[in-house]
Amino acid sequence: MSNVTKEQWIEMFREIGLADEDMSRWHRLFEARHPDGHESFLKWLGLDAKSIQNIRKA
């Protein structure tokens, strides 16, 4: 079984009407409320350490 890719996740967000700013707010909220879970989620998406670091700083 393979994980969902970052691109597939973004596609699903767009399909439900989320804009880039909505997705950014979602990530900021996820990071603020559940930093460990957010990091685990980003790893589950298959992102490398540098990408994870950049996303978590945004």
Residue type, 49: A
Residue 6 contacts residue 47 (beta carbons within 8 Å) = yes
Domain containing 29: what range?
21-58
Query: pLDDT per residue over 2-54, tens digit each?
Result: 688 989 999 999 999 999 999 999 989 999 999 999 999 999 988 999 999 99
pLDDT at position 56 is: 87
How far is it, in rounded angstroms, from Cα 22 to Cα 28?
A: 10
Q: How far apart are the first and last CA of the chain?
A: 30
How many other β-carbons are positioned within 10 Å of the β-carbon of residue 56?
15
9 assigned to some structural domain = no
How far is it, in rounded angstroms, from Cα 23 to Cα 19?
A: 6
4 assigned to some structural domain = no
Domain count, the chain: 1
